[in-house]
Amino acid sequence: MITAVRKPMEEIIACVAPYDRILLVGCNECVSVCSVGGRKEVALLASALQMHFLKQGKTMDIKEITLERQCDPEYVEELVNLTDGADAILSMACGCGVQTIAGRYREKPVFPAVNTTFMGASERQGVWSERCQGCGDCVLGITGGICPIARCSKRLMNGPCGGSSNGKCEIDPNIDCAWQLIWDRLKALGLERRIEDIMEAKDWRTSRDGGPRKIVREDLAS
């Protein structure tokens, strides 16, 4: 899923301070699952903002709504009757949701309340880790199901580097060395020799380096 963290209140407060009526929009997808932008967090942020402004002597009108999926125009359409009553929109969705709103309601300023962080998986309750960088050419099939691009600090395709120590990355003892994980996994699969196959220089065109990407499924789009 796409993970995010709430922006510092100071930054959010500065964004909405010039306005009186805010439409605060959550999303029921990824950001709900990682407890940063779902219904509960929307309610919490609404209270926090109102409490802040009440202390300043200002009553901030905040309408709360959490859409099923903020990155989908179909759901974003649900805001159509609410935007008139708002001076600005504050979104708690990932950057995709914020942009879908900005694209649809062009006359309203839209601010992000969260920093979209990475595509990750849940390790355990409350802990998420980066797992994929969407490079567009998946190598997991040859790296034992562990991604060197997302999980090696240097995204080495032929690791490990000389800084792997006791299974940990040299930049942080809390980060597993991806290549140690790959090696352990290849061993478990009886594929040790594969570690000596050189992974050729990657074609980054399928990644962000080829420009913004788009998927068009003719069978669905027509």
Partner 1 sequence: MTKAFEPEIVAFCCHYCAYTAADMAGSKRLSYPANVKIIRVPCTGKVDPIHIMKALHKGADGVYVAGCLEGDCHFKTGNIRAAHRVRRVQALLEEIGWDSRRVEMITMSAGMGERFAQTAREFTEKIRELGPSPVSRAGQEAGRQAVS
Partner 2 sequence: MKTESRLEKVLASGALAVTSECGPPRGVVPDKVKEKAELLRGYVDAVNVTDNQTAMVRMSSWAASILLKQIGIDPVFQMVTRDRNRLAMQADIIGAYSHGVNTMLCLSGDHPHFGDHPMAANVYDLDSVQLIQAVVKMRDEGKFQGGKDIDHPPKMFVGAAANPFADPFELRVMRLAKKVRAGVDFIQTQCIYNLDKFARWMDGVCERGLHEKVHILAGITPMKSAGMARYMKNRVPGMDVPDDIVKRMEGVPKEKQPEEGIKIAVESIERLKEMEGVHGFHIMAIEWEEKVPEIVEKAGLLPRPEI
Q: Which residues would be at the binding site for partner 2 (CB under 8 A)?
A: 153-167, 170-172, 177, 180, 183, 195-196, 198-202, 204
Q: Closest CB to partner 2 among 38 and 160?
A: 160
- Does position 8 interact with partner 1 (CB under 8 A)? The reply is yes
In whole angstroms, the minimum distance from the beta carbon of 173 to partner 2 comes to 10
Question: Contact at 8 Å (CB) between 60 and 49?
Answer: yes
Judged by CB under 8 A, the stretch of 22-30, 49-57, 131-139, 212-220 that binds partner 1 is: 49-57
Among 18, 55, 217, 221, indicate the residue that binds partner 1 (CB under 8 A). 55
CB-count exposure of residue 166 (10 Å: 0-12, 13-18, 19+): exposed
Judged by CB under 8 A, the stretch of 40-48, 109-117, 137-145, 158-166 that binds partner 1 is: 40-48
What is the four-CA torsion angle of 165, 170, 172, 178, rounded to 10 degrees? -70
CA distance 76 to 101: 6
In whole angstroms, the minimum distance from the beta carbon of 203 to partner 1 comes to 44
Q: Closest CB to partner 1 among 47 and 158?
A: 47
Question: Contact at 8 Å (CB) between 89 and 108?
Answer: yes
Q: Closest CB to partner 2 among 200 and 219?
A: 200
Fill in the amino acid letter for 93: A
Phi first, then psi: what are they for 13, rounded to 5°?
Answer: -60, -45
- Does position 13 interact with partner 1 (CB under 8 A)? The reply is yes
- The beta strand positions in the chain, using DSSP E, are 2-6, 21-27, 61-67, 88-91, 110-112, 114-124, 127-132, 168-169, 172-176
Q: Closest CB to partner 2 among 127 and 201?
A: 201
Q: Give contact residues for partner 1 (rule: CB under 8 A).
A: 8-10, 13, 40, 43-44, 47-52, 54-55
